[in-house]
Structure 1
Amino acid sequence: MHNRLNSWINGYARETIGGYWGRLGVCLVSRSRGLPPTVVYVPSGKDTESAGWGEAVLKLEALSGIKRAQMAFAMALDTDDVFLRTITVPEGLDERQLEQVAIVEAVSNLPVPPEEICLDFIRGSSDGRDETVGIAFCRRERIDEILANAEEVNVPVHVIDRDVQAIHDAIENKALSENTDIKYPYGIVLTELSSRIVICLGPTEFEVYPVRIPTDDIAELGVSLLTQLKHCWMRCKMSRPIDSEVLEQVLVIGDVAPRFDWQSMNAETSSSKKIDHLLIDQFVEKDSANDYAPDEIILIALGMSGRCLS
């Protein structure tokens, strides 16, 4: 409460700083109205994990003009670390009772003691007798690692979410800024951090499929990705009640994307109405032309930077 009162008295609120932290390093993104998002990236290979965080915060302070006392992190977790479940419970349970039910569900899916699980839940629809509840949970150690590094740089963490949600949100925000519509279902082909295809069925509904990136023959790469896209889309249609025959759009992300004429190649597989390469450099400002930040990492941090802090 004391810090919140200081914010009110001083006339400022903490700025949301979107972040990625993983095996490739630390990436932070800040947004200021009327200006392109500011991106800083510190590659992995530092002596300690917190050193990368500290260097990234110092860079962001210098480039954006935002002091760390005004920052709050919104960090992304690897989607594979997060479990999502939807359950049905009797209507009328209070928050404490719902939490107990959620813990039982989490332990049945993640066989560790309850104290080693971190979870959240959201109430859904009700039919007058039963209520649907969405649950998200993960190992507490993953959250503790993020909190420990943030504490080292004296910046609080206010939001943690899945990386695919952050990528989706970054794409949606870009579309809104360009006055274009996002139509579902659409696909995202990720080729850098973790090779996977994401099928977006709605604002929070995703199917994620790992894919293989051929390394020996570049000529086969584009064909292979589109073939795997077709197979992933078929699997998605078999497991979900989907009316669409093809995807509305597919976005290819990563440095491999500019090598191919995706639209011409797509004519052979017909999995999507169109395929485009998403250009990240056009709508962000990086801290240095010499610091290469993978597009996927930037999208993750960019999407998290748009989260509202409660």
Structure 2
Amino acid sequence: MASQSIHLNSKFCDRTVGFNARNKDLLGLAFLCRICSLILRDPVQLLCGHRQCKSCVESIDGEVVKCPEYGIKPNQEILHQDVASLKQKVEDMQYISYDGTLIWKITAVKERMIDAKSERQTSIYSPPFYSSPIGYKMRARLYLNGDGNARRTHLSLFFVLMRSKNDALLKFPFNYKVTFCLNDQTPAQRHIIDSFRPDIKSNSFQRPRSEMNIASGIPKFFPLAMIEQEGNPYVRDDTMFIKIMVDFGDIPKTLLPYALSLNSGLPTYIQQILIKQEAERRAQQTPIPPDLLRQHTG
């Protein structure tokens, strides 16, 4: 059967129904529309599980037809939800990261802020990212109109630990410093940087038992008044970038601006080398405290 091919009959390739073929029966019922009995074209699945051609689902006057066998109509709301869910999964896969760092591109900022203020959608989630290929699964959560006592005054930015299939191999509670960076998109590079250390007693940092733990982070991350200013350097072309970095090496606070200003296009290991070299350079330039100098000079 594998060597046999399906020959489409161009005479019957009407775009209002499925595809016709002389030997279409070789495909089996799963690939045939139950309305036109031809090979499925743009298949749509009904609640009963049967599939029909998209063009066959609607009659000429636009009314939705029923499944010939069970009389069940397609649920358009479920279909739209499935499409939206699939689109989100594809978008998330484009941004997946396995080094504990995520650069989150947020588009349509103005529209999202309007949604947050009207409470249609108060928060948005970043794509998931990982600390390593078999490591912690994480994401960020952003409230564009603030959360709690920061509502209407600040952007609220939180870290979310997610359940993954490798959690049994990992150590909990999660105890690594998390750094957020709102990127200045101009050459001035005046990024907004803030960090927090997990409260290991909090449920937010224990092994996840549901899809996501309760978010934890920085409620007053950045003043709304500044992000709403016309021409501010953090929103350009209605887009902003937030970098989330899990700091496994405990980078000194004074080095964070340098580390977060490195070219994001560089491989992670190159960035780590540059950070180490900068730390060593600064250590060599640090003056010896007078008390310590006296001890060593007699």
Greater Rg over alpha carbons, structure: 2
Q: Give TM-score, length-normalised by structure 2.
A: 0.25
Using CA pairs under 8 Å that are at least 6 residues apart, name the structure with larger relative contact order, 1 or 2: 1
Structure having the larger proportion of residues in strand: 1
Which is helix-richer, 1 or 2? 1
